[in-house]
C-alpha cells in the first residue's frame, strides 16, 4: 500500500528548484507527441532553440510575447495568493484593450506624457471592474467566482465583437471588424529600432517588482496573504476579509487589463477580437509555475514565451502542429503541481497494509 | 407578443430545446457525480473537447457510431483518472489541477487532430446519428417531433439521468458516494475505501462529460471544429450548483437552459433588426451567472467538496 507522509524539513532549495525541474521535464516530455507526429526529435529541439536564441530579432520576439504574460501572470498570482480564483483574465484583458481603444483613438489627444498614462489607467480600471463584478457576487451572494469569472470571458469576448461591428468599428477598415488605430501619442514606444519589442516590457518588469514589494513588505500585502492562508483566522484577527477580496479583485483585474493595453498600444495598434492568444488563461499557468511569486512570474513568462515562440518556429520548419506549444505549457503546469507535492510529502510503498487501530 | 406565443406552440422549438440540452445533460450528470464524491472537476471543458475529438475520429477511422461513443467515454475516463490521481491520491488543489486537465486535454485533442489531418481546408465529415424513426410514435403530432425524432444520443442522455438517479438514491453505492463527499472520515470508519469511491466517481463522471462532447461531433454536427465546445463545460459547472446536485433537477436545469437557448435563436430572427445579434449570443452565459447568483446563498455544497482526504491523518 501507498503511504503519504509530510516531509520533516522542507529544503528551500528543493522548493525553488521545482519549477525549473518541471519546466525541463515538460520540454523533455514533448518528445512523446513529437515522436507521435513522426518528427525528427533532435532536429525539432534544435529549431526550438534557434527560434528563441537564433537572432536578436527572435530573442526580442520572445520578450514581446512574454510582455502580456507577465501582466496576466501577475493578475493570477496576486488573486490566487488571496485564494480569490480569478479565471477571468482573458475577459479582463479585452476590457483593458477596449477601454484603451475607446479613449485612445481620437477621443482625447495630447502629448505622450499624458496619453500613455491615460490609456494605461483607463485600461487598468476597466480590467479591474471586470473582476470586481465576480468579487461582489462572491462577497454579497456567495456565488462561486470561478464560474462567474470564467463565464464572463465569453460574455466580454462577444461584447468586444459587438463593439467592433458597432461603435468602435473603423470606418476606414474596409469592413473588417477592427477598431481605429490608437493615436500616435498613445503608442508605447519601441525599445530597439526595427524590432517589435516595446516599452510595455519594461513596464511589465517594473510592475512585477512593485507587486513583489507590495506583497512582501506592506500591510496590504500581509492582509492578502493572511486572507489566502486562512480567511477565518484573518477575520478573527480583525482583517476586513470581504474588503480585501474586493481590493485584490480590482488589482488583479487591473493587471490583466494592463496586458490588454500593452498589446493594443504597444504591438498591434488597433483592437481585433483575436488580439489575445489565450493570454488570460496562460497567465494562470505562468502564476503557478512562478509559485505565485511576482518575481517568479517574470521568469515563468520568459519560459512560457520561449516555448510558444520556439514551438512556432519549429512547427514552421518541420511541419508539426503548433498546438505542441500548448501541450508543453499545460504539461509544465501539471509537472509543477506534482513537483510541489513531492517537495512537501514522502511517498512510500509498504508491502503490506498495517492497520494502526 | 403573438410571435412569442407561436414559438412556444411550435414543435420545432421544443425539439430544439431538448437537442440543445442533450450535451449539457451529459455534462451536468458528470459534474454531479464528481462533486457528490467531493471532487470539483474543472477538467470538464477539456474533457468535452476530448470526447468530441476522439468519438468523431474513431468513427472517421472506421468504427461504428456506438464504437465511437465507447472510445469517447474511455478517453474521457482516462483524463478523469488523471484528475483523480492528482486530486484524490496526491490531494492537490482541485481548482488548479482541473484547469491543468482542461488545458492539457484540449491541447492534446487539438494536437492529435492536427497531426492526423495536417492540411484540410474543410473538416472531413462522418455519417452522424440520425433522427429516430419509430413506427407510430415518431408520427404522433407534436410529441413525435419533440421526443421521438431526436437522435439515439438524446435518449441515452435521458436514460443516464434515470441511471444516475437510481444509483444515487436507491443503491448502497450511491449512499457511499454521497457520504464520501460529505464526510470521508465516516466512510473510512465503515471500512470502505474513500480513495476508490472518489476515483471511481471522478472516472465515471469524466466519461459522462466526454459523451457530452461526443454528442457535438456525432449527433449535433458531423465534424470536429476547434473551439466548438465554447464554454459548454463551464455552463455545466454552473448548472450543477443550480440543480443542487440532484439528477432530476439537473435534467430540469439543462432543459430550462436548452429552452432559453432555443428561444434566444428564434428571438434573434424576430428582433434581429433592432437588437445586435451578439446580445442574444451572450444570453446563455448571462443566464448561467444569474442562475448561479440566485441559488448561491442556499446552495448546499457537498461538505467535503475541495477537501482532500488522507488515510490516518486527522
Q: What is the pLDDT of residues B140-178, one digit of tens each?
A: 888 778 788 889 999 999 999 999 999 999 999 999 999
Distance from CA of B165 to the nearest CA of A (A): 25
Closest CA to A336 of A328, A347, A346: A328
Residues of B in contact with A161 (CB under 8 A): 278
Q: Which residue has the higher pLDDT, B41 or B1?
A: B41
Per-residue pLDDT reduced to its tens digit, B49-75? 999 999 999 999 999 999 999 999 999
Rounded CA gap, A330 and B296, in Å?
31
Q: What is the pLDDT of residue B133?
A: 81
Please give the backbone phi and psi of residue A5, each rounded to the nearest 5 degrees, phi first.
Answer: -130, 140
Any domain includes B47: yes
Work out the burial of residue A33: count CB atoms within 10 Å of its CB; fewer than 13 is exposed, 13-18 middle, 19 or more buried.
buried
Is residue B179's pLDDT more than 90? yes
Residue B313 covered by a domain: no
* pLDDT confidence of residue A345: 79
Q: Is residue B100 part of a domain?
A: yes
Cell (9 digits) for B173: 453505492
* A337, A353, A356, A357: best to mutate for the B interface, most B CBs within 10 A: A337
Distance from CA of B242 to the nearest CA of A (A): 11
According to the model, what pLDDT value does residue B72 have? Answer: 98
- Best CA proximity match to A294, nearest among A76, A82, A130: A76
Q: pLDDT tens string for chain A (357 positions)?
A: 567 777 776 666 667 788 899 999 999 999 999 999 999 999 999 999 999 999 999 999 999 999 999 999 999 999 999 999 999 999 999 999 999 999 999 888 889 999 999 999 999 999 999 999 999 999 999 999 999 999 999 999 999 999 999 889 988 888 889 999 999 999 999 999 889 999 999 999 999 999 999 999 999 999 999 999 999 999 998 899 999 999 999 999 999 999 999 999 999 999 999 999 999 999 999 999 999 999 999 999 999 999 999 999 999 999 899 899 999 999 999 999 998 888 877 777 765 554 444
Mean pLDDT of B106-120: 91
| B2 pLDDT more than 50 | yes
Other residues' Cβ atoms within 10 Å of the Cβ of residue A243: 12
Residue at B136 is within a domain: no
Predicted pLDDT at A351: 56
Domain that holds residue B77: 16-117+149-296
Print burial letters for B229-249: b (CB count within 10 Å at least 16), e (below 16): bebbbbbbbbbbbbbebbbeb
Q: What is the ipTM of this complex?
A: 0.92
Q: Which of A123, A11, A90 is nearest to A273 (CA)?
A: A90
- Condensed to tens digits (0 to 9), the pLDDT of residues A300-316 reads 999 999 999 999 999 99
Does the beta carbon of B244 lie under 8 angstroms from any beta carbon of chain A? no
- Estimate to the nearest angstrom the gap between the alpha carbon of A192 and the chain centroid: 24
Q: How many other C-beta atoms lie within 10 A of the C-beta of residue B303?
A: 11
Domains of chain A: 2-349 (1.10.3470)
pLDDT tens digits, one per residue of B193-250: 999 999 999 999 999 999 999 999 999 999 999 989 999 999 999 999 999 999 999 9
From chain B residues 63-92, the ones with a CB under 8 A of any chain A CB are 86, 89-92
Q: Is residue B241 part of a domain?
A: yes
Q: What are phi and psi of A6, to 5 degrees?
A: -65, 145
Residue identified by cell 433588426 is B273
**B104 contacts A330? CB cut-off 8 A:** yes
Does residue B52 lie within any of the structural domains? yes
Q: What pLDDT does A162 receive?
A: 94
Residues of chain A with Cβ-Cβ distance to B286 below 8 Å are: 155
With residues binned 3-state (H G I as helix, E B as strand, rest as coil), the percentages for chain B, rounded to 5, are 70, 0, 25
Mark A280-303 as b/e (b = at least 16 C-beta within 10 Å): bbbbbbbbbbbbbbbebbbbbbbb
Contacts of B312 in chain A (CB under 8 A): 356
Residue A323: which of B99, B107, B235 has the nearest Cβ? B107
Cβ distance of B104 and A87 shorter than 8 Å: no
| Inter-chain contacts counted by CB atoms under 8 A, chains A and B | 135
Contact state of B238 with A4 under an 8 Å Cβ cutoff: no
Please judge whether B293 and A150 are an interchain contact, meaning their C-beta atoms are less than 8 angstroms apart: no
Interface mutation target, options A7, A34, A37, A151, chain B, most CBs of B under 10 Å: A151
Residue B288 touches partner A, C-beta closer than 8 Å: yes
Of all residues in chain A, the one with the smallest CA distance to B242 is A143
Long-range contacts of A227-231 (CB under 8 A, 24+ apart): A227/A82, A227/A83, A228/A80, A228/A81, A228/A82, A228/A83, A228/A84, A231/A83
Distance (Å, whole) CA A344 – CA B293: 37
Query: pLDDT tens, B267-281?
Result: 887 776 778 888 888
Residue reference for cell 492528482 = B86
Per the CB < 8 Å rule, is A284 touching B99?
yes
CA A93 to chain centroid, in Å, comes to: 10
Instruction: Quote the pLDDT of residue A190.
Output: 93
3-state secondary structure of A250: helix
Q: Does B117 touch chain A (CB under 8 A)?
A: no
Residue B299 is predicted with a pLDDT of 84
| CATH number of the CATH domain containing B100 | 1.10.3470.10
Do residue A338 and residue B86 have CB atoms under 8 angstroms apart? yes
Residue that has been written with the C-alpha cell 512523446 in this structure: A32
Question: CB distance B299–A159 less than 8 Å?
Answer: no
Q: Is B276 on the interface with A (CB under 8 A)?
A: yes
User: Per the structure, how many domains does chain B have?
Assistant: 1
- Contact between A150 and B234 using a beta-carbon 8 Å cutoff: yes
A73: how many CB neighbours lie within 10 A of its CB? Answer: 35
Amino acid at each position: 500500500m501507498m503511504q503519504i507522509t509530510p516531509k520533516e524539513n522542507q529544503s528551500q532549495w528543493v522548493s525553488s528548484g521545482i519549477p525549473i525541474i518541471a519546466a525541463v521535464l515538460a520540454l523533455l516530455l514533448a518528445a512523446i507527441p513529437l515522436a507521435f507526429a513522426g518528427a525528427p526529435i533532435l532536429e525539432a529541439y534544435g529549431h526550438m532553440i534557434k527560434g528563441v536564441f537564433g537572432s536578436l530579432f527572435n530573442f526580442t520576439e520572445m520578450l514581446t510575447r512574454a510582455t502580456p504574460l507577465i501582466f496576466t501572470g501577475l493578475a493570477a498570482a496576486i488573486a490566487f495568493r488571496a485564494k480569490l480564483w480569478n479565471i477571468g483574465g482573458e475577459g479582463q484583458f479585452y476590457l483593458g484593450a477596449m477601454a484603451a481603444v475607446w479613449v485612445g483613438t481620437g477621443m482625447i489627444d495630447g502629448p505622450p506624457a499624458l496619453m500613455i498614462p491615460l490609456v494605461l489607467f483607463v485600461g487598468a480600471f476597466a480590467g479591474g471592474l471586470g473582476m470586481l463584478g465576480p468579487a461582489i457576487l462572491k462577497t454579497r451572494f456567495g456565488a462561486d467566482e470561478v464560474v462567474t469569472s470564467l463565464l464572463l470571458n465569453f460574455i466580454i469576448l462577444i461584447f468586444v465583437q459587438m463593439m467592433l461591428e458597432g461603435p468602435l468599428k473603423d470606418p476606414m477598415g474596409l469592413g473588417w471588424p477592427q477598431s481605429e488605430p490608437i493615436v500616435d501619442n498613445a503608442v508605447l514606444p519601441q525599445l530597439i529600432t526595427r524590432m517589435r519589442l516595446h516599452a510595455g516590457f519594461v513596464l511589465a518588469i517594473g510592475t512585477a517588482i512593485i507587486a513583489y514589494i507590495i506583497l512582501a513588505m506592506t500591510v496590504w500585502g500581509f492582509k492578502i496573504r493572511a486572507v489566502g492562508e486562512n480567511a477565518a483566522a484573518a477575520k478573527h484577527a480583525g482583517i476586513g476579509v470581504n474588503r480585501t477580496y474586493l481590493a485584490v479583485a480590482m488589482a488583479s483585474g487591473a493587471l490583466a487589463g494592463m496586458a490588454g493595453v500593452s498589446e493594443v498600444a504597444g504591438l498591434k495598434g488597433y483592437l481585433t477580437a483575436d488580439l489575445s492568444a489565450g493570454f488570460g488563461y496562460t497567465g494562470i499557468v505562468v502564476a503557478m509555475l512562478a509559485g505565485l511569486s511576482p518575481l517568479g512570474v517574470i521568469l515563468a513568462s520568459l519560459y512560457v514565451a520561449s516555448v510558444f515562440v520556439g514551438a512556432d518556429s519549429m512547427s514552421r520548419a518541420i511541419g508539426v502542429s503548433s498546438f505542441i506549444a500548448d501541450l508543453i505549457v499545460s504539461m509544465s503546469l501539471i509537472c509543477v503541481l506534482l513537483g510541489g507535492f513531492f517537495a512537501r510529502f514522502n511517498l512510500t510503498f509498504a508491502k503490506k497494509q498495517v492497520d494502526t487501530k | 407578443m403573438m410571435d412569442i406565443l407561436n414559438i412556444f406552440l411550435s414543435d420545432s422549438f421544443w425539439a430544439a430545446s431538448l437537442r440543445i440540452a442533450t450535451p449539457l445533460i451529459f455534462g451536468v450528470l458528470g459534474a454531479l457525480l464528481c462533486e457528490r464524491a467531493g471532487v470539483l472537476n474543472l477538467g470538464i471543458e477539456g474533457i468535452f473537447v476530448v470526447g468530441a475529438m476522439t468519438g468523431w475520429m474513431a468513427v472517421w477511422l472506421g468504427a461504428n457510431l456506438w464504437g465511437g461513443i465507447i472510445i469517447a467515454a474511455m478517453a474521457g475516463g482516462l483524463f478523469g483518472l488523471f484528475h483523480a490521481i492528482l486530486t484524490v491520491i496526491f490531494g492537490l488543489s482541485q481548482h488548479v489541477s482541473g484547469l491543468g486537465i482542461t488545458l492539457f486535454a484540449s491541447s492534446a485533442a487539438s494536437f492529435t487532430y492536427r497531426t492526423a489531418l495536417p492540411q484540410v481546408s474543410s473538416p472531413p465529415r462522418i455519417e452522424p446519428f440520425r433522427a429516430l424513426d419509430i413506427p407510430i410514435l415518431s408520427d404522433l403530432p407534436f410529441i413525435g417531433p419533440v421526443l421521438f425524432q431526436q437522435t439515439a444520443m438524446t435518449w441515452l442522455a435521458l436514460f443516464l439521468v434515470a441511471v444516475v438517479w437510481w444509483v444515487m438514491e436507491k443503491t448502497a453505492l450511491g449512499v457511499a458516494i454521497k457520504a464520501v463527499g460529505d464526510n470521508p472520515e465516516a466512510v473510512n470508519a465503515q471500512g470502505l475505501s474513500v480513495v476508490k469511491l472518489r476515483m471511481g466517481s471522478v472516472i465515471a463522471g469524466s466519461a459522462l462529460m466526454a459523451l457530452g462532447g461526443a454528442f457535438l461531433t456525432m449527433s449535433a454536427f458531423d465534424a470536429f471544429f476547434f473551439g466548438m465546445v465554447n464554454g459548454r463545460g463551464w455552463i455545466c459547472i454552473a448548472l450543477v450548483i443550480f440543480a443542487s446536485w440532484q439528477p432530476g433537477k439537473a435534467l430540469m436545469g439543462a432543459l430550462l437552459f436548452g429552452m432559453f437557448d432555443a428561444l434566444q435563436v428564434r428571438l434573434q430572427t424576430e428582433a434581429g433588426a433592432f437588437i445586435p445579434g451578439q446580445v442574444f449570443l451572450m444570453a446563455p452565459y448571462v443566464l448561467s451567472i444569474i442562475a448561479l447568483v440566485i441559488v448561491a446563498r442556499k446552495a448546499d455544497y457537498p461538505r467535503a467538496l475541495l477537501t482532500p482526504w488522507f488515510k490516518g491523518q486527522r
